Amino acid sequence: MELFSEKDLARIFQALAYAAGQHKDQRRKGGDQTPYINHPIEVAELLYRVGKVRDVNLLLAAILHDTVEDTSTTPEEIETLFGSQVRNLVMEVSDDKSLPKAERKRLQIVHAPHRSELAKQLKLADKICNIRDVIFHPPADWSDERRVEYIAWASAVVAGLRGANSNLEEEFDRVVAQAKPAIEKRDSE
Ligand code: NDP
Ligand code: ZN
C-alpha cells in the first residue's frame, strides 16, 4: 500500500523548507544552542515513528507548529500554503501571545481536554520533545527546581491529552520516569 503520494511528499519538503526559513535566526534555549528547526523536525519524526501517525496534515502541522507562535508567519499564510486543516491544527497548538505567560500556561492545562484528537497528538509529541530537551539540553540558567516545575506543568497538560495516542502517552511516561534521576545525576557530576 502506498502511504504517501508524490504530492504529500512535495508538501512535506515544502513545509520543512518553509519552517527552516522562518526559524532561520532562532536557536533553542539549551546551552548547546541547536538551530530551532531541529525541534519541529523532532516532533514530526516522533509522531511518525513512535505515534505511528500517517495523517499528512498532522505531520505538516508538526513541522509548522511553532511558526505562528515564534515567527512572523500568519494563520492566513499557513492556509494559503498548506490548506485550512493544517492552519487549524497549528492554531489549536499555538498560545495567544497577547496574554501574560502565566495565563498562557494555565490555559494550556484548561484547554487540553477540549482539543481535537489530532491536535492532542501533536501537543503530546511537543511535550515529550521539550521534556527531553529539559533533561538533555537544558537552558543554561534553569535551576533544578525550574526543570522539575516544568515537568510537573507538562504532566498536567498531558493529563488532559490522554486517550489520543497510547504509544505517545507511554513514551511521555517513560521520558518523565527518566527525567528526575537524570536531573539528579547531572547535579552530582
Ligand atoms: P518557558 O516557557 O520559559 O520555556 C519552556 C519552553 O521553551 C518550552 O515549552 C519550549 O517551547 C521552549 N524551549 C526552547 N528551547 C528549549 C530547551 N532547550 N528546553 C526546554 N524548552 C525549550 O519555561 P517555563 O516558564 O514554563 O518555566 C518552567 C517552570 O519554571 C514554570 O513552572 C515556571 O513557573 C517556573 N519558573 C521559574 C523561574 C525561576 O527562576 N525559578 C522563572 C520563570 C518560571 P516550544 O516547544 O514552544 O519551543
Ligand atoms: Zn514546540
Mutational pocket test of ligand 1: of 109, 149, 151, the residue with most ligand atoms within 8 Å of the beta carbon: 149
Q: What is the pLDDT of residue 184?
A: 77
Mean pLDDT for the stretch of residues 16-44? 96
Domain boundaries of the chain, sorted by first residue = 6-188
State the chain's maximal CA–CA distance in angstroms: 51
Selected from 2.170.120.12, 3.40.250.10, 3.10.450.200, 1.10.3210.10, the CATH number assigned to the domain covering 6-188 reads 1.10.3210.10
Q: Could you report the per-residue pLDDT of 134-182, keeping only the tens digit for each?
A: 998 999 899 999 999 999 999 999 999 999 999 999 999 999 999 878 8
Q: Choose among 62, 66, 58, 75: nearest CA to 26.
A: 66
Q: What is the pLDDT of residue 2?
A: 73
| Residue 34 Cα: closest atom of ligand 1 | 18
109, HSE (Cβ side, Cα atoms, 13 Å): 10
Q: What is the pLDDT of residue 181?
A: 81
Q: Could you report the per-residue pLDDT of 78-128, keeping only the tens digit for each?
A: 999 999 999 999 999 999 999 999 999 999 999 999 999 999 999 999 999
**Residue type at position 112:** A
Spacing, Cα 181 to ligand 2 middle (Å): 24
Strand partners, 27: 35
Listing DSSP states for 63-74 in one string gives: HHTTHHHHSS--
Q: Give the whole-angstrom CA distance, residue 155 versus residue 130.
A: 12
Spacing, Cα 1 to ligand 2 middle (Å): 32
DSSP 27: B
Q: Give the whole-angstrom CA distance, residue 47 versus residue 93.
A: 15
Q: Assess contact for 44 and 121: CB atoms under 8 A.
A: no
Q: Assess contact for 68 and 74: CB atoms under 8 A.
A: yes
Q: What is the pLDDT of residue 182?
A: 80
Kindly list the distances between the CA atom of residue 90 and the CA atoms of 12, 122, 125, in Å, as whole numbers in the listed order: 15, 9, 14
pTM: 0.95
